[in-house]
Each structure stands twice: as structure tokens, then as C-alpha cells.
């Protein structure tokens, strides 16, 4: 999987950068996560094909996380899109988007499917092509979800050297991957277990959008390969973070440490800070494998 950061500032876009949006590429598809203003420009800049986007996940209805969505929907239409588009987001998102379109007497020539979310418990909202997406309920003053993307363990992986040694014909490979025994040219049966490697583990990405520091979410984040956690503020402004239902870099790192994730990336920076390296320094005092989720940067995992 490949994650590309399209925007990582909080509140409003500025010369420093765009607001929250990310794209997760997997198996020829691009999953858009949040859609702040300017997302369509960032998609073009990062050469993400518009047609590869079929599913958009919106964490909450603060403008810095979805004000790019109406524009993107209409651009898709102007470009002649025919494929349906699925939008997962908080209850109310359908009315907001459709009201905007009605006001402009515009509609899309492709089907818009809204999957409105209202559960305060984790729910599997997507399950296709070996990839599932589960909501991560967050605490942010308004209804907010993070999203846990899980690429499920693939079926058995063939040990090519073993199969070759036994002289097993290529036509059997797909069957062996599904658990069948192999048959040599002489007709000997080779047990499946001798020909395959253990299952690949799941690969997981957790996107924790805006949230107050909350250790309860670690249950869902356990052993994740990659965790994005917001860090709007530095520790010196922790009071302000709590008041506005946001987190500090140190708190994001505490979540990462307690979840035993492999890597943490930080974003949603308040533009009050001029030196983003301070976020990294602060987080690394708690959790070392940490990077800034800087715009146009990609993470392959
Ligand atoms: Zn925000
Ligand atoms: Zn917010």
C-alpha cells in the first residue's frame, strides 16, 4: 500500500500548505481520505488518476476536512465521469452536498452514493478485494471517525524454489496457493504444507483524524503498520489542545507507543508554529519511529 499526503495543516489553507487530505493506493484503486480545499489540485500534482478514485472517506464535517469535496465532485462530472462514486461520511453529508448542487441547478451524470455514518462504535463500512475499512470513533466535539484500513493476509505464498525442485508444473500453482497438494511429473503427491510459506500478516493503516487525546482508541490501533495521528499543537499549548478537542505531538506519540504501532506520522499542524521540526522532536522523546506527514510525501508499507 502507498499513502500520499495531499494536505496536512489544520483550519485553513495558506501558503504554508493545504488542509487535511490523503490518498491510499492499493491494487490499482485510490482511496481518498478527507478532502480539504484544494484536494483536486493536489491530486493532479501527485499524478493520482481521478478515475482510480471510487471511494472517499470523510472523517467529520469541519470545513478543513471536506470543503474540497463539492468541487471535486463537479470536476469529475465536467471530465465526463461515468463510474459511480461512493462517499462515506457523517450523517448530514448527503444533504449538504445535494443542497449545494440544487442551488447551482447542477447534477452529476454519474451515480453518487452516500454511505452516512452515525454509529459511535467501530463499524466495518467497506469490505472488498481483500481490503476492509473500519471506523475508529474519535472524540472531537462533533461526530468524528478515524478509519482503519486493513489489507487482509493473502492466501498461501508459493515457495518457488521448492515447487521447482519437485518438478511441479506451473498449471498447478494457483491451486497450491489455495491449499491443494502438488503432483510431480512422476505422479507423486507432495503435501501442500511443503510448498507454501506461512500466510503474510495483515497490513494496516490507521488514520486518526481530529481528536482529543484518548487512550481508549489504542485497542483498535494495536500493532498497526502505520498510524497517522493528528498533532495540532505542541505540549506547551496542551491546555488549548484539550479545550478545542485536539492533541499534541507528545500525546500522539503516547498513543503510538501504547498501541505498539510500527510507525507514526504526524499532521494537522496549527499554522501558529513556524518550525514543524519541533513536532517531531517532541514526539520522538516518547516514540522514535516517527515522521511528519508533510504534503506530497509518500509512505510505502
Ligand atoms: Zn481539522
Ligand atoms: Zn475538526
Predicted confidence (pLDDT) per residue in 120-157, tens digit: 999 999 999 889 999 999 999 999 999 999 998 766 78
Q: How far is the CA of 32 from the centre of ligand 1 (A)?
A: 16
Does the pTM exceed 0.85?
A: yes
Ligand number nearest CA of 270 is: 1
What pLDDT shows up at residue 14?
Answer: 85
Domain end point (choices 197, 229, 254): 197
- Say which residues have a Cβ less than 8 Å from residue 243's Cβ, sequence separation at least 6: none
- Say which residues have a Cβ less than 8 Å from residue 292's Cβ, sequence separation at least 6: 8, 265, 266, 267, 276, 277, 279, 280
Q: How far is the CA of 271 from the centre of ligand 1 (A)?
A: 12
Same domain flag for 146 and 278: yes
Same domain flag for 35 and 129: yes
Domain end point (choices 142, 174, 197): 197
Same domain flag for 178 and 139: no
Same domain flag for 219 and 141: yes
What pLDDT shows up at residue 147?
Answer: 98
Predicted confidence (pLDDT) per residue in 236-291, tens digit: 999 999 999 999 999 999 999 999 999 999 999 999 999 999 999 999 999 999 99
Q: How far is the CA of 285 from the centre of ligand 1 (A)?
A: 25
Number of folded domains that form the chain: 2
Same domain flag for 55 and 172: no
Same domain flag for 178 and 114: no
What pLDDT shows up at residue 279?
Answer: 98
Predicted confidence (pLDDT) per residue in 172-212, tens digit: 998 888 888 999 999 999 998 899 886 778 899 999 999 99
- Measured CA to CA in angstroms, residue 148 lies from 116, 122, 129, 225, 295 at distances of 17, 10, 16, 11, 21
Predicted confidence (pLDDT) per residue in 226-238, tens digit: 999 999 999 999 9
- Which residues surround the ion ligand 1 when the cut-off is CB under 5 Å? 10, 62, 64, 210
Q: How far is the CA of 140 from the centre of ligand 2 (A)?
A: 7
Same domain flag for 31 and 75: yes
Q: How far is the CA of 268 from the centre of ligand 2 (A)?
A: 9
User: Could you give the residue numbers annotated as active site?
Assistant: 64
Same domain flag for 81 and 134: yes
Same domain flag for 50 and 138: yes
Ligand number nearest CA of 144 is: 2
What pLDDT shows up at residue 111?
Answer: 97
Asked whether residue 168 carries a pLDDT value surpassing 90, the answer given is yes
Arithmetic mean of pLDDT, 68-82? 97
Same domain flag for 129 and 168: no
Could you give the CA distance from residue 293 to residue 266 in angstroms, rounded to a whole number?
Answer: 5
Predicted confidence (pLDDT) per residue in 33-43, tens digit: 999 999 999 99
Asked whether residue 53 carries a pLDDT value surpassing 70, the answer given is yes
Ligand number nearest CA of 139 is: 2
Asked whether residue 16 carries a pLDDT value surpassing 90, the answer given is no
Q: Residue 234: which CATH number?
A: 3.60.15.10
Averaged confidence pLDDT in the chain? 95
Q: What angle, 0 to 180 degrees and rounded to 10, lies between the N-to-C axes of helices 249-259 and 277-284?
A: 40
Could you tell me which residue, 300 or 155, shows the higher pLDDT?
A: 300
Q: How far is the CA of 61 from the centre of ligand 2 (A)?
A: 7
Q: Which domain holds residue 174?
A: 157-197
> 162 burial class (0-12, 13-18, 19+ CB within 10 angstroms)?
middle
Domain end point (choices 197, 228, 252): 197
Predicted confidence (pLDDT) per residue in 104-116, tens digit: 998 999 999 999 9
Ligand number nearest CA of 60 is: 2
Return the residue matching grid coordinates 503435501. 191
Same domain flag for 42 and 185: no
Same domain flag for 192 and 57: no
Amino acid at each position: 500500500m502507498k499513502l500520499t499526503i495531499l494536505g496536512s495543516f489544520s483550519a485553513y489553507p495558506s501558503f504554508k500548505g493545504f488542509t487535511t487530505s490523503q490518498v491510499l493506493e492499493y491494487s490499482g484503486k485510490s482511496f481518498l481520505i478527507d478532502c480539504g480545499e484544494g484536494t483536486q489540485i493536489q491530486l493532479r500534482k501527485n499524478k493520482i488518476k481521478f478515475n482510480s478514485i471510487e471511494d472517499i472517506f470523510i472523517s467529520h464535517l469541519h470545513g478543513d476536512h471536506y470543503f474540497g469535496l463539492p468541487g471535486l465532485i463537479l470536476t469529475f462530472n465536467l471530465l465526463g465521469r461515468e463510474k459511480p462514486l461512493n462517499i462515506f461520511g457523517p450523517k448530514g453529508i448527503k444533504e449538504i452536498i445535494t443542497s449545494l448542487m440544487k442551488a447551482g441547478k447542477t447534477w452529476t451524470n454519474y451515480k453518487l452514493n452516500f454511505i452516512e455514518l452515525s454509529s459511535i462504535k467501530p463499524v466495518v463500512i467497506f469490505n472488498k478485494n481483500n481490503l476492509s475499512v473500519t471506523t475508529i470513533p474519535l472524540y472531537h466535539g462533533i461526530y468524528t471517525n478515524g478509519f482503519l484500513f486493513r489489507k487482509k493476509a493473502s492466501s498461501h505464498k508459493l515457495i518457488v524454489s521448492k515447487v521447482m525442485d519437485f518438478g511441479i508444473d506451473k498449471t498447478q500453482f494457483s491451486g497450491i496457493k489455495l491449499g491443494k497438494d502438488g503432483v510431480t511429473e512422476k505422479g507423486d503427491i507432495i503435501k501442500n504444507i511443503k510448498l507454501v510459506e506461512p500466510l503474510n500478516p495483515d497490513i494496516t493503516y490507521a488514520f486518526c483524524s481530529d481528536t482529543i487525546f484518548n487512550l481508549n482508541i489504542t485497542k483498535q490501533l494495536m500493532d498497526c503498520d502505520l498510524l497517522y495521528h493528528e498533532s495540532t499543537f505542541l505540549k506547551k499549548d496542551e491546555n488549548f489542545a484539550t479545550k478545542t478537542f485536539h492533541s499534541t505531538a507528545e500525546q500522539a506519540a503516547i498513543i503510538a507507543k501504547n498501541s505498539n504501532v510500527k510507525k507514526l506520522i504526524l499532521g494537522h499542524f496549527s499554522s501558529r508554529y513556524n518550525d514543524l521540526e519541533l513536532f517531531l522532536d517532541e514526539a520522538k522523546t516518547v516514540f522514535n519511529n516517527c515522521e511528519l506527514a508533510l504534503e506530497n510525501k509518500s509512505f510505502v508499507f
